[in-house]
């Protein structure tokens, strides 16, 4: 950590002197909490304190950084850096396209810390976010492999909103006799300006069976090889002596393998890939090789049965399925790395289907994390952030027989109990009074201090896990008697 920026200089004005002195006191309090003997709030149960371990954390930094509630104050950046420095690898979510705040954060962390990140995602659902890993090079090294996870072929999501057909001239429908269209009970909207709303996501109206549509110019029938599941007769009924059977009459029915091909500009694809592309990076610390995949899963809304919840669950299941395939591939040169997913999964609860989707395909949330009684949001009642290891059996080609995933500790660190405090954690309202004045220093004033502070630090708390990395004893034991 570089604290030199907190030194009070002769040219500093009164406001600058005040925030620097205050930040020093906050950091001393924060450091004391981070180095407590009970190891970030949960007692260590590691049998051998001398063994080397690796601390991995995940933290969603709310809109890092955005002017929506004012950019981060230097006090906030120092506090965020202090928390990050307590770990060895940290996955960050909601880092925005503008890297100004991240660069300031890296300068505070110091030269031992490096970042690996994606470019900002341009998809509308991604809000320009990046996936970021920060790691301490004094104990962790980058293995040289990193990449984004995309879905292909049958692994794509194919949800109800996976594709739409758009007609430039509008849509002309002919309904069956006596049929009517029923408006949806709830129209999803997002406020864009005073008195103005936009439908977001799509409002869906069911079409009755037998509805006819007039196709615009450009549509085609595509005759091509049928999948193997179709019978031989069905696959060959369309062609004889190199001539297509186009049938006759006004009403024509073609067998299932015949497709409607749409002009590309009239096909709107969406919801087939992740809302925000997951990012996997390969690290090594001591004997332990890890493939860490950070995610920020689609949220939408929390209503069970809604299309948004269906997409959230499908994204989680698709991710674990894709990573499990990668982890167990015998031809994968990276298969000797243990796979771990971590990030903001928007898990509704531990008993919800979103958690079940996370633990499908061989991934398992460690028991040390399951023992944490509260969630990772500021109110501690939501379990959005999670970490899970793939439990596929070691021993595959390239896997070291001596290493294993051994979780010695885990926890959630409640930053707001020590800095940017409020309520019972802020005796006499000292923090709230100070930061309300700081809002004025930067030209901002907000009625809700509790909400404002989540835009300075975050509305999520960092979750972490500690694993063993020293397996020299096991290796040396295997050499006994080998002479």
In angstroms, the CA 399 to CA 288 distance is 11
In order, the DSSP letters of 171-237 are --EEPPTT------SS--EEEEETTEEEE-S----PPPTT-EEPPPTT-EEE--PPPTTS-HHHHHT
Structural domain includes residue 285: yes
In angstroms, the CA 26 to CA 30 distance is 6
Among candidate residues 250, 193, 261, 253, the one with its CA nearest the CA of residue 224: 261
Structural domain includes residue 387: yes
Q: Which domain holds residue 287?
A: 4-155+272-479
Structural domain includes residue 230: no
Structural domain includes residue 287: yes
pTM, full prediction: 0.83
Q: How many domains does the chain have?
A: 1
Structural domain includes residue 105: yes
Structural domain includes residue 43: yes
Structural domain includes residue 263: no
- The per-residue pLDDT string of the chain (483 residues; one tens digit each, 9 = 90 and over) reads 999 999 999 999 999 999 999 999 999 999 999 987 445 444 344 444 556 899 999 999 999 998 877 799 999 999 999 999 999 999 999 999 999 999 999 999 999 999 999 998 877 777 889 999 999 999 999 999 999 998 887 788 877 767 788 888 888 999 999 999 998 887 877 777 777 777 777 788 889 999 999 888 888 888 776 555 555 555 555 555 567 778 888 888 877 668 888 887 787 776 788 989 999 999 999 999 999 999 999 998 888 888 889 889 999 999 999 998 888 775 555 557 899 999 999 998 999 999 999 998 899 999 999 999 999 999 999 999 999 999 875 555 555 678 889 999 999 999 999 999 999 999 899 999 999 888 776 666 677 889 999 999 999 999 999 999 999 988 898 888 655
Any idea what the CATH number is for the domain that residue 444 is in?
3.60.10.10
In the three-class reduction of DSSP (H, G, I as helix; E, B as strand; rest coil), residue 82 is classed as helix
Cis peptide upstream of residue 65 (ω within 30 degrees of 0)? yes
Structural domain includes residue 431: yes
């Amino acid at each position: 950590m570089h604290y030199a920026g907190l030194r009070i200089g002769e040219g500093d004005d009164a406001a600058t002197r005040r925030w620097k002195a205050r930040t020093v006191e906050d950091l001393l309090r924060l450091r004391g909490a981070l180095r407590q003997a009970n190891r970030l709030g949960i007692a260590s149960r590691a049998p051998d304190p001398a063994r080397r371990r690796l601390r991995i954390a995940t933290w969603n930094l709310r809109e890092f950084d955005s002017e929506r509630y004012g950019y981060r104050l230097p006090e906030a950046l120092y506090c965020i850096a202090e928390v990050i420095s307590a770990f060895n690898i940290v996955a960050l979510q909601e880092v925005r396209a503008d890297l100004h705040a991240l660069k300031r954060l890296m300068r505070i962390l110091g030269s031992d810390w490096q970042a690996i990140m994606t470019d900002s995602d341009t998809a509308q659902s991604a809000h320009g976010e990046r996936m970021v890993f920060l790691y301490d090079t004094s104990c962790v090294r980058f293995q040289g492999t990193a990449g984004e996870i995309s879905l292909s072929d049958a692994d794509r999501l194919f949800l109800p909103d996976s594709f739409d057909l758009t007609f430039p001239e509008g849509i002309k429908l002919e309904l069956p006799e006596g049929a009517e269209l029923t408006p949806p009970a709830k129209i999803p909207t997002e406020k864009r300006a005073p008195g103005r709303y936009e439908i977001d996501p799509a409002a869906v109206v069911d079409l009755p069976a037998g509805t006819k549509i007039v196709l615009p110019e450009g549509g085609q029938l595509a005759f091509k090889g049928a999948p193997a599941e179709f019978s031989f007769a069905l696959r060959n009924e369309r062609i004889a002596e190199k001539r297509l059977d186009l049938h006759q009459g006004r009403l024509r029915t073609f067998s299932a393998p015949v497709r409607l091909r749409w002009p590309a500009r009239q096909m709107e694809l969406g919801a087939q890939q992740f809302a925000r592309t997951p990012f996997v990076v390969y690290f090594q610390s001591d004997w332990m090789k890890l493939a860490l995949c950070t995610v920020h899963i689609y949220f939408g809304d929390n209503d069970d049965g809604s299309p948004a919840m269906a997409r959230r669950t499908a994204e989680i299941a698709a991710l674990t399925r894709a990573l499990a395939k990668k982890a167990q591939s015998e031809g994968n040169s990276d298969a000797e790395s243990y796979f771990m997913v971590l990030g903001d999964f928007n898990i509704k609860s531990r008993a919800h289907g979103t958690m079940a989707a996370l633990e499908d395909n061989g991934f398992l949330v460690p028991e040390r994390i399951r023992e944490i009684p509260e969630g990772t949001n500021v109110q501690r009642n939501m379990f959005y952030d999670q970490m899970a290891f793939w439990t596929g059996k070691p021993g595959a080609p390239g896997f070291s027989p001596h290493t294993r995933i051994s979780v010695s500790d885990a926890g959630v660190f409640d930053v707001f109990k020590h800095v940017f405090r409020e309520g019972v954690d802020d005796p006499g309202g000292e923090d709230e009074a100070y930061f309300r004045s700081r809002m004025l220093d930067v030209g901002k004033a907000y009625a809700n201090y509790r909400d404002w502070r989540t835009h300075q630090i975050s509305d999520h708390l960092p979750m972490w896990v500690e694993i063993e990395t020293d397996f020299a004893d096991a290796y040396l034991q295997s050499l006994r008697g080998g002479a």
